[in-house]
Structure 1
Amino acid sequence: MKNRLLDGPGRTLECIHPKFIVDLVQGIDAPRQAQVVPQQQLFRERLTQEIMAQTQLRPWAMSGMYNENDALRLGLVEKLSSMFDPGQLALTRITQRLTMLKQNVERRAAPSVTLEKQYDDLCEHFSRRAAWKTKALTQRGLMVQAGLHSEQIFTRWRAGQYNGWSLVGRCYVALEELRWGAFGDACRLTNPEVSTLLKDNLRVMAADFLAQGIGASPATRHFYHQWLSTPTSPGLMDYKDLLGWLGDWCDADRHPVSWSVTQSWQTVALGMPRLCSAARLADALVDEIFSEGV
């Protein structure tokens, strides 16, 4: 069976698995109704089936059983996180979410002893993993790792591996890859001055790549639809749906550029500039994406 998402638009994206695992945890105890819009719900179900097939865990996803059973969902989180290294950002978010859920379980009038113990065990497990990962990263030379990761992602961009997305969509995808990986680790774990330097350098590189893509200087302004226009290609909807899922954290008021880039089924946010340069777009995306990840 050919997995079109993971073999197509998602074939080089390393942020898919950590984000997917975090989504599993964040969905626990959330209102079952209207968690996401129908378009995104269909995409998530499809991505789940593909990841289950990829990992040979298909029985977990049969009939969406884990969606209705928190214990099974937690078991799936533990299983997937043992098969993939989610990374420091994902491990930290998982730990934070599990701690909140554990407190909610403890406040119930008659909590399930089995579920309570499962939360206890997983909180301890992921807390230790997150602490170990953080300690290991701080001993490895964060700046060197950030530089190598940045070079890798921009090389992929230059090689055309993100060409299924719009010009600014390529930038968004590259920044998400950086946020979930070694570059994002450095931004979170170094001191504020170094973090600011890393992100300032990233703004310049992203603006240069955007400018090259449209054939102008980083300061030249263009109508926003020129940046957002998606190239016609096989599997176009797969690319749009994956981008929408990557940006499902966006809020139209607080993250107008990220929202406008990723949520193409919605109207463009009011805060999205109608005339914008590569430099302005890069500045906004770095601010929005990395404020979400720090």
Structure 2
Amino acid sequence: MVIDQKRPSIWMLVAILQVYVWIYEVPKICKPFWTNTFANYSDETSEFILNLSVILFFLCYVAAMIPVYYFAQHPWIDQYKIQKDKPWPWLSKDEKTRNDFWKLTKRSVKFISFNIFFLVPVMSYGKIMILSKLNMGGTSFATDEESWPKPFRSFIDCIILSIIHEFGFYATHRLCHVYPFLYKYHKVHHEYKMNVAWCAQHNHPVDFILSIGGPGLLFISLYPCHSMTQFQFILWVMYANLDDHCGFSFPWSPVRWFPFAAPTDEHEFHHSKNIGCFGSKLDIYNRLLGGHEHYLKWNEKRQKAQ
């Protein structure tokens, strides 16, 4: 059965509840920390600390998914698997397939360690310094009632940031597939034909700088916002990126249920077929500028085969 992440269900309510927590409760929880943690630091230093939160979020998500992959054959979990016609590589009957997967996983540890523990801090620092020199960015770590963003304001800001960031990702991602001198770096990310959570950060460093750093610099440069909103958006983008690569179409995913959201299987299709679906959390640019037609044909055949 093909899981429709936009079909109304109890799981959609769970997804909406997560969004409510993200919009309304996360700022309430974080507000005291903003005062206590950032009071003695400059805005630039505070933003640098904030950007490093992506490292912790990535590690926590991957750690949470490991038990899921361990019990992946359980019928309740297996029903959400996207590529149902193929076994998970570590469960394959073919010894070479299993060995190749573990070799690739070891390779991932090297790429991921360099990317998140070296490139993320360096890129964050570089972004802050560049925007500071250009008098751009506008991040504020103030916690007074007047400057602290209202939930609806943060929500609207995150929508605008998503549209900007998604365009940046779509453009850089598509360029990486069009031009061979870029694809030679991007093809490292496509070494996974069946996604698992940690392959979200399995990138050649050049590709990581272009496709991760480029869109990140674009959104905060064009639309500066309060640090709390920036933090909420970082969480949203990181969750969407990891959800893209988890290998499951979870109906309770908070980033898939609303209009114009790209279902998880779009990116799974992109990895398995290495074509089309150049966006991530939204499918608006795939529809407007191309890249969605390949997925639609594939999905239609898949639906008929059920």
The question of a shared fold, defined as TM-score above 0.5 by the shorter chain, is answered with no
| Bin for the TM-score computed over the shorter chain | under 0.3
Give TM-score, length-normalised by structure 1.
Answer: 0.25
| Highest RCO, 1 vs 2 (Cα 8 Å, sep ≥ 6) | 2
Give TM-score, length-normalised by structure 2.
Answer: 0.25
